[in-house]
């Protein structure tokens, strides 16, 4: 999948932006606060995902503009498509959203059309942050491959909320421990299913991150990534989530019931699982340097795009915001030159490095919200 054309006007500081993209590499250069991230964000919104900066609707319209309008044209081997959205000051909730000219009621309904993988400085939390960041990464990636996975996750979250409410009732003396059974049976099946999907995804991802990380580091460092379950000792070759795995899961819930009632919530389950990364055998989260952690996070994101490409036959577009800072020159060159068969948009402040090291693709310059090419 390739983005061919982007227009943006009144989206934050973007002003009359109208660019034709290169099918491989697009470098967006500019000093701080010129609008590089705003451009990446405007494109990302067209994927139907929430803004990565959690911008509120009302804050995205340019301070001195009456409306914001963004359109993105993209193509794959089958067809060319166009997503547009427009919002007026004062009535931002009533966005006018269209896909190929047909009105769409909500931005989230666009999910699955324009497929992108985004990396922002916040994605360093993939390594440094809490396990929740890593679970969300795996969940979003798995949902891109299997949209129905979202309903399993929603179901699990509802069940956990209900089980936790039931635990409170037990502590209030309104319910008895056996009342948890109805939730535990359902949680066991849904939780086992989620474990299998996540485990399989991480295994698959590991094949890609291993190779990428070795290339990024010139073969000097080895990366290993795996899913760490709080319920199962091993999920290797196990797929029977409705049978054997649900039984193991149920027994785990049963065993921790007393402790759960004591603390007042559900202690174990897929909501406590994690993804572990090790560099040369050492936990990257604990022992990795800043540059190593950044490289691992980038490798995970590129791998995410490659998995999507190989499993769906259609490569997503990579949006890389501010990934180059803190990386040494060889790591930077790798990122610029080695993401093959995937269209990349990458922002950068250091124009001299780009001029020296970027032989292919297009360079765009951003200044005060205006973008020029060449």
Ligand X SMILES: Nc1ncnc2c1ncn2[C@@H]1O[C@H](COP(=O)(O)OP(=O)(O)OP(=O)(O)O)[C@@H](O)[C@H]1O
Site residues, ligand X (CB under 6 A): 12-13, 30, 32-38, 59-63, 322, 349
Residue 38's binding partner among Mg ion, ligand X, none (Cβ under 5 to 8 angstroms by kind) is ligand X
d(CA 127, CA 204): 18
Comparison of 89 and 211: residue with beta carbon closer to ligand X: 89
Q: How far is the CB of 8 from Mg ion (least distance, A)?
A: 15
Q: Is 120 in the site for Mg ion (CB under 5 A)?
A: no
Q: Is 130 helix (H, G, I), strand (E, B) or coil?
A: coil
Comparison of 19 and 212: residue with beta carbon closer to ligand X: 19
Comparison of 250 and 364: residue with beta carbon closer to ligand X: 364
Comparison of 116 and 202: residue with beta carbon closer to Mg ion: 116
Q: How far is the CB of 43 from ligand X (least distance, A)?
A: 12
Q: How far is the CB of 321 from Mg ion (least distance, A)?
A: 6
Tell me if 279 sits within 8 A of 221, measured CB to CB.
yes
35-43, 228-236, 275-283, 366-374 -> range binding Mg ion (CB under 5 A): 35-43
Which residues fall within 8 angstroms of residue 240, CB to CB, at 6 or more apart? none
Comparison of 52 and 249: residue with beta carbon closer to Mg ion: 52
d(CA 57, CA 88): 10
Which residues fall within 8 angstroms of residue 195, CB to CB, at 6 or more apart? 227, 229, 231, 232, 235, 241, 245, 249, 270, 273
Q: How far is the CB of 13 from Mg ion (least distance, A)?
A: 11
Tell me if 308 sits within 8 A of 115, measured CB to CB.
yes
Tell me if 232 sits within 8 A of 241, measured CB to CB.
no
Q: Is 217 in the site for Mg ion (CB under 5 A)?
A: no
Which residues fall within 8 angstroms of residue 79, CB to CB, at 6 or more apart? none
Tell me if 11 sits within 8 A of 69, measured CB to CB.
yes
Which residues fall within 8 angstroms of residue 44, CB to CB, at 6 or more apart? 51, 52, 116, 118, 319
Comparison of 42 and 223: residue with beta carbon closer to ligand X: 42
The C-alpha angle 124, 127, 128, rounded to 5 degrees, equals 80
For Mg ion, the nearest residue by Cβ is: 37
Quote the tokens at residue 346: 């990458």
Comparison of 193 and 345: residue with beta carbon closer to ligand X: 345
d(CA 100, CA 19): 19
Q: How far is the CB of 303 from ligand X (least distance, A)?
A: 25
CB atoms within 10 A of CB 252: 20
Residue 206's binding partner among Mg ion, ligand X, none (Cβ under 5 to 8 angstroms by kind) is none
Q: How far is the CB of 7 from ligand X (least distance, A)?
A: 17
d(CA 163, CA 101): 45
How big is the site for Mg ion, counted in residues (CB under 5 A)?
Answer: 2
Judged by CB under 5 A, the chain residues 296 through 335 that form the site for Mg ion are none
Quote the tokens at residue 242: 């409705």
Comparison of 37 and 195: residue with beta carbon closer to Mg ion: 37
d(CA 315, CA 211): 18
Residue 62's binding partner among ligand X, Mg ion, none (Cβ under 5 to 8 angstroms by kind) is ligand X
Q: Is 37 in the site for Mg ion (CB under 5 A)?
A: yes
CA torsion, points 331, 332, 337, 342, in degrees to nearest 10?
100
**In degrees rounded to 5, what are phi and psi of residue 12?**
50, -125
Q: How far is the CB of 119 from Mg ion (least distance, A)?
A: 12
Q: How far is the CB of 310 from ligand X (least distance, A)?
A: 31
Residue 59's binding partner among Mg ion, ligand X, none (Cβ under 5 to 8 angstroms by kind) is ligand X
Comparison of 56 and 79: residue with beta carbon closer to ligand X: 56
20-28, 32-40, 122-130, 323-331 -> range binding Mg ion (CB under 5 A): 32-40
Residue 271's binding partner among Mg ion, ligand X, none (Cβ under 5 to 8 angstroms by kind) is none
36-44, 167-175, 209-217, 359-367 -> range binding Mg ion (CB under 5 A): 36-44
Residue whose pair of structure tokens reads 């942050």 in the numeric block: 129
Residues that bind Mg ion (CB under 5 A): 36-37
């Amino acid at each position: 999948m390739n983005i061919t054309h982007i227009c943006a006007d009144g989206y934050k500081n973007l002003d009359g932006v109208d660019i034709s993209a290169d099918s491989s590499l697009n470098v967006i250069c500019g000093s701080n606060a010129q609008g590089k991230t705003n451009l990446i964000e405007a494109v990302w919104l067209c994927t139907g995902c929430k803004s990565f900066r959690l911008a509120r609707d009302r804050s995205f319209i340019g301070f001195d503009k009456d409306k914001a309008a963004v359109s993105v044209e993209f193509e794959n081997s089958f067809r060319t498509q166009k997503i547009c959205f427009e919002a007026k000051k004062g009535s931002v909730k009533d966005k006018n959203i269209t896909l190929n000219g047909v009105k769409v009621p909500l931005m989230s309904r666009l999910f699955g059309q324009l497929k992108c993988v985004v990396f922002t400085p916040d994605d360093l939390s993939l390594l440094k942050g809490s396990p929740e960041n890593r679970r969300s990464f795996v969940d979003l990636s798995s949902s891109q491959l299997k949209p129905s996975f979202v309903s399993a996750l929603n179901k699990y979250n509802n069940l956990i909320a209900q089980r936790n409410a039931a635990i409170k009732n037990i502590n209030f003396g309104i319910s008895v421990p056996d009342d948890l059974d109805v939730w535990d049976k359902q949680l066991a099946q849904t939780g086992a299913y989620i474990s299998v999907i996540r485990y399989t995804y991480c295994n698959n991802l590991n094949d890609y991150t291993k190779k990428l990380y070795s290339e990024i580091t010139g073969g000097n460092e080895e990366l290993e990534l795996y899913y760490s379950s709080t319920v199962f000792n091993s999920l290797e070759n196990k797929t029977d989530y409705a049978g054997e795995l649900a039984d193991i899961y149920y027994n785990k819930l049963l065993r921790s019931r007393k402790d759960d009632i004591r603390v007042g919530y559900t202690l174990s389950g897929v909501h406590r699982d994690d993804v572990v990364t090790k560099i040369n055998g050492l936990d990257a989260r604990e022992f990795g340097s800043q540059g190593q952690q950044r490289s691992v996070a980038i490798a995970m994101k590129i791998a995410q795009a490659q998995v999507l490409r190989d499993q769906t036959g259609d490569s997503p577009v990579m949006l890389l915001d501010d990934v180059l800072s803190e990386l040494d020159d060889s790591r930077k060159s790798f990122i610029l030159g080695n993401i093959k068969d995937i269209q990349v948009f990458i922002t950068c402040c250091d124009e001299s490095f780009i001029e020296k090291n970027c032989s292919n693709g297009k360079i765009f310059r951003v200044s005060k919200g205006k973008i020029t090419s060449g």
